[in-house]
Amino acid sequence: MTVPATAPTAAAAARPAPGAARGIRRHLAYSPWLFAAPGLLIVAVFSLYPFVSTVINSFTDRRTLLPGHFVGLANFRELLHDDMFWIGLRNSTLYVLGVVPALVILPLLLALLVQRHIPGIAFFRAAFYTPVVASIVVVGLIWVWMLDDRGLINALLETVGIGKVGFLSDQWLLLVSSMAVTVWKGLGYYMIIYLAALANVPRELHEAAAVDGAGAVRRFVTVTVPAVRSTMVLVAALSSVAAFKVFSEVYLMAGPNGGPAGEDTTLVMLVQRVGTGLSGRVGYASALSVVVFVVVVALMLLVLRADRKEDA
Amino acid sequence: MNAPTVTDAEGRRVAPWQLVLRYVLLIAVLALTVGPFLWQLSTSLKGPHEDIFSSPPSFLPGDPTLGNYGRVADTIPVWDYAFNSLKVAAANVVTNCVGAALAGYALARMRYRGRRAATLAFILAMLVPVEGLIIAQFTTMRELGLNNTLIGVLLPGSISAINVLLMRNAFLNLPLEVEEAAFVDGANVWQRFLRIALPSVKGTLAVVAIFAFMGAWDDFLWPLIVLSDPDKFTLTIGLNYLHGTFANDERLVAAGTIIAVAPLIALFACLQRYFFRGVGEGAVKG
C-alpha cells in the first residue's frame, strides 16, 4: 500500500508492554508465534528476503531467465558511466527539491483553513481528501487530459489570450507538471496529519499573542509554526522519501520511455524498465535499487538531523 | 448562510467577514481539488458529435449520453478488470485485518522470547522502500510460480508491516486490567483476543480496512510488473492500456476513469466519518 503511515508507530515501539500475569505465558506457550506467524511470514518473504536478495543481486550479472555470476562492483561502475542513470538521479533529486517545500507548507495552510468547526466543514475536509483516495492512474489520466494541447487548461489560456502551453511536450514543463500533480494529490493526505497536530496546539498561545497585538500572519509565524514544527519535519521526511521514489505520475504523463529522448525518466522508472521483461537485467536493476535505498535512508537521516539541530 | 450567529465548536462567535472569507477560500480549494474530477465526468458524458476541445470550454455536456460507458466495455473488458480489482481489494482487506490484528496482538499483549526481534522485523519491513524491492519481489514471485496471477498481485501487501504496527499501538493503548480480569475468570487467549481486545480497536481496524482496500484498488506499479496477460489485468492496468490504445477518444478514457474512481469515492463518502475519527485517534497522533 502506498499510504505512508506516520512515525509514531516506530516511536511507540520502545514502549514496554505492560506485564501480563506470568501464568498467561505458561498456559499457552505456543500461541504467540501462531498469532504472529502469518504476518512474519509475509513480511519475511516479500520484504526482508527481497531486500537481502536485492543487495546480493546487485553484485551479479543476473538476468530474468539466467542465474548470473558474481561480478563485484561492475554494476556500480557501469552506473557511473550510464547517462540514463544520471538523468534518473537528476530528475528524482529535482522532484524532491520541487515537491517537498510545497507539501510542507500548502497542506498546513489548508489544515488551518479547515480547522474551525464551521457549518459544512466535514464536507470540505472529505472533498479535499478526494485526490488522495483516487488511484494514481485515474489522477494521471485526468491531468493528461487537462494539460493536453487541446485540453481544459490550454482552452482557458487561449480564452484569456495567453495561448497554448506545451505542458506535455516540453521536457522541463513535463517534469514541473508531474510535480504539480504530485502536490495536488498529496495535499489532502498531509492536511490530515497537520490537522491532528494543530488539535494539540493550546488555544491560549494564540489568544496571548492576539492580546499582544500580533496579526494573523505574525501569529502563524510565532505561534503555529513553532508548535507544529516536529510535524513539519515528519511531513518533510515522508514527502521527500516519496518524491525521490516517484514513478507513476511521470510514467503516466511522460509515457513509459520518460518523455522526449527519455529526459524525464526517474530512477524508479529506470529500475522498472531495466529490470523487468524476459531479458531484464536483474543484477543491474538491483544496483539501481541499492542506490535508491541509500538515498532514501540518507534523506531520512538528513531530515531527522535537521530536526535535532534545531532542538539544541 | 446565517453568518452573524455562527459559532464554532468551542462556542466562540466567528466574525461574519471572516466567515465569508473562509467560505470563499474553501470553495476555491474545492474547485481546485474536485473540479478536475467533475471535468472528467463532464467529458465522459459528452455525445459523439460534441466538440470536446472547444475554446472557451463548455463545462456541461450539450448532448449528454451514457453511451461512452457502453463503448468502453466494447473496447476493453472493463467490467472484468473491475471485478479483478474488486477480488484483490476485498482479499487484501480480509488478509490485512486478520493478519495485522493477530500479529499486532502478539506484539502488544504477549510475552515470549523473540518478541523484540519480531517487532524489529516489522519495523524494518516498514522502512524498506517498496519501490526498490520490486525486481526482487518479481523474481521471488517467478520462483513461486505465481507471476501473472491475482494471488501474485495480492501477496506482497497482504499483511503489511505498517498495519501490524498500527494494530499493535491500538492494543497497547487498551487498559490491561480488563484482560487480566478475564484471564483470572479463565478466559483463554483466543477468547480474550476475540471478545475483549478486538472489539475495542474497531476504529483502527476500520482505518486498516479502508487503507487496505484503497491501496489494492489504486495500486499501479506492482500489478504493472506482475501481470502480463490482459485477461488478468486489474482496473488500473487496464486503464493505462485503454489510454495507450484509444488516446484519440478522450470520452472513452474519461468514462473508464470514472468507472475506476466512482466506487472508491462512494465508499470513502460512506466511511469518511470513521476514517477521520480513526486517523485522529491513532495513526497520526504524536
Instruction: State the pLDDT at residue A207.
Output: 80
Residue with cell 489544515: A111
Chain B environment of A107 (Cβ under 8 Å): none
User: What pLDDT digit, counting tens, does each position of B136-146 carry?
Assistant: 999 899 889 99
* Domain closes at, from B26, B41, B65: B65
A308 contact B CB<8A: no
User: Residue B157: phi, psi to the nearest 5?
Assistant: -100, 10
Instruction: State the pLDDT at residue B203.
Output: 83
Across A50-59, A79-88, B63-72, B254-263, least confident range? B63-72
User: Residue A281: phi, psi to the nearest 5?
Assistant: -90, 85
User: What pLDDT digit, counting tens, does each position of A185-229 carry?
Assistant: 999 999 998 988 888 888 788 788 888 877 788 888 888 888 898
Render the burial of B267-280: b for 16+ CB within 10 Å, e for the rest.
Answer: bbeebbebbbebbb
Instruction: State the pLDDT at residue B3.
Output: 41
A138 contact B CB<8A: yes
A128 contact B CB<8A: yes
Quote the DSSP letter at residue B56.
S
* Domain closes at, from B42, B65, B88: B65
Instruction: State the pLDDT at residue B40.
Output: 93
SS3 state of residue B10? coil
Instruction: State the pLDDT at residue B250.
Output: 86
- Residue B262 located in a structural domain: yes
Cα-based distances in Å from B107 to A15, B33, B180, B277: 11, 40, 17, 24
B75 confidence band (pLDDT: 50, 70, 90): confident
Q: Do B123 and B251 belong to one domain?
A: yes
* Domain closes at, from B46, B65, B84: B65
- Residue B209 located in a structural domain: yes
Residue with cell 490537522: A195
Contact A57 B136 (CB under 8 A): yes
Chain B environment of A57 (Cβ under 8 Å): 135-136, 139
At residue B153, does pLDDT exceed 90? yes
Chain A environment of B128 (Cβ under 8 Å): 47-48, 51, 293
d(CA B60, CA B47): 11
Residue of A214, A207, A239 whose CA lies nearest to A6: A239
- Residue B205 located in a structural domain: yes
Residue of B230, B217, B268 whose CA lies nearest to B88: B217
Chain A environment of B224 (Cβ under 8 Å): 272
Q: Do B54 and B100 belong to one domain?
A: no
Q: What's the burial of A278, exposed, middle or buried (CB within 10 Å: 0-12/13-18/19+)? A: exposed
Average per-residue pLDDT for chain B? 85
Instruction: State the pLDDT at residue A15.
Output: 40
d(CA A132, CA A128): 8
- Residue B286 located in a structural domain: no
Q: Are A306 and B152 in contact (CB under 8 A)?
A: no
In sequence order, what are the residues at sequence separation of 6 or more whose Cβ sits closer than 8 angstroms to the Cβ of residue B73? B79
Sign of the four-CA dihedral A198, B269, B40, A124: negative
Q: Which long-range contacts (CB under 8 A, 24 or more apart) does B66-73 make?
A: B68/B44, B68/B251, B68/B252, B68/B254, B68/B255, B69/B44, B69/B255, B69/B258, B69/B259, B71/B251, B71/B252, B71/B255, B72/B242, B72/B252, B72/B255, B72/B256, B72/B259
User: What pLDDT digit, counting tens, does each position of A290-301 carry?
Assistant: 999 999 999 988
CB pairs under 8 A between A and B: 353
- Residue B182 located in a structural domain: yes
Instruction: State the pLDDT at residue A93.
Output: 96
Q: Do B227 and B175 belong to one domain?
A: yes
At residue A128, does pLDDT exceed 90? yes
- Region B25-41: mean pLDDT is 95
Q: Which of A134, A158, A293 sits opposite B129 (nearest CB)?
A: A293
- Residue B161 located in a structural domain: yes
Residue of B155, B264, B43 whose CA lies nearest to A135: B264
Instruction: State the pLDDT at residue B50.
Output: 81
Report the CATH number that the domain containing residue B136 is assigned in CATH.
Answer: 1.10.3720.10
- Region A100-121: mean pLDDT is 92
Q: Tell me the HSE value of A123 on the side-chain side, using a 13 A CA sphere.
A: 8
Q: Which residue has the higher pLDDT, A106 or B284?
A: A106
Q: Do B58 and B25 belong to one domain?
A: yes
d(CA A223, CA A208): 10
At residue A16, does pLDDT exceed 70? no
Instruction: State the pLDDT at residue A276.
Output: 85
Chain A environment of B37 (Cβ under 8 Å): 130, 134, 142
Q: Do B33 and B126 belong to one domain?
A: no
* A41, A129, A141: best to mutate for the B interface, most B CBs within 10 A: A141
- Region A161-183: mean pLDDT is 92
Chain A environment of B115 (Cβ under 8 Å): 17, 32
Which A-chain residues 35-64 have CB contacts (< 8 A) with chain B?
A: 35-36, 38-40, 42-51, 53-54, 57, 64
d(CA A265, CA A253): 11
Q: Are B57 and A151 in contact (CB under 8 A)?
A: no
Q: Do B151 and B253 belong to one domain?
A: yes
- Residue B264 located in a structural domain: yes
Q: Which residue has the higher pLDDT, B56 or A80?
A: A80
Across A100-114, A152-166, B47-61, least confident range? B47-61
Domain range holding B101? 70-281
C-alpha cell at B82: 473491475
At residue B252, does pLDDT exceed 80? yes
At residue A67, does pLDDT exceed 60? yes
Q: Are B206 and B278 in contact (CB under 8 A)?
A: yes
Percentage of chain A exceeding pLDDT 90: 53
CA-atom Rg of chain B in angstroms: 24
Q: Which of B132, B179, B236 sits opposite A292 (nearest CB)?
A: B132
Q: What's the burial of A36, exposed, middle or buried (CB within 10 Å: 0-12/13-18/19+)? A: buried
Average per-residue pLDDT for chain A? 86
Vertex B268: Cα angle to B266 and B274 (nearest 5): 135
Helix/strand/coil (H/E/C) assignment for every residue in A99-130: HHHHHHHHHHHHHHHHHCCCCCHHHHHHHHHH
Q: Do B201 and B247 belong to one domain?
A: yes
- Region B29-43: mean pLDDT is 94
- Region B73-94: mean pLDDT is 92
User: Residue A60: phi, psi to the nearest 5?
Assistant: -125, 170
- Residue B261 located in a structural domain: yes
Q: Do B119 and B239 belong to one domain?
A: yes
Instruction: State the pLDDT at residue B5.
Output: 57
In sequence order, what are the residues at sequence separation of 6 or more whose Cβ sits closer than 8 angstroms to the Cβ of residue B170? B104, B201, B203, B204, B205, B282
ipTM: 0.85
Q: Do B119 and B228 belong to one domain?
A: yes
Q: Do B187 and B266 belong to one domain?
A: yes
Q: Are A40 and B158 in contact (CB under 8 A)?
A: no
Across A37-41, A97-101, A149-153, B2-6, least confident range? B2-6
d(CA B31, CA B268): 19
Contact B283 A138 (CB under 8 A): no
Q: Do B260 and B241 belong to one domain?
A: yes
Q: Do B79 and B212 belong to one domain?
A: yes
Give the total number of structural domains in chain B: 2
Instruction: State the pLDDT at residue A221.
Output: 86
A31 contact B CB<8A: yes
SS3 state of residue B13? strand
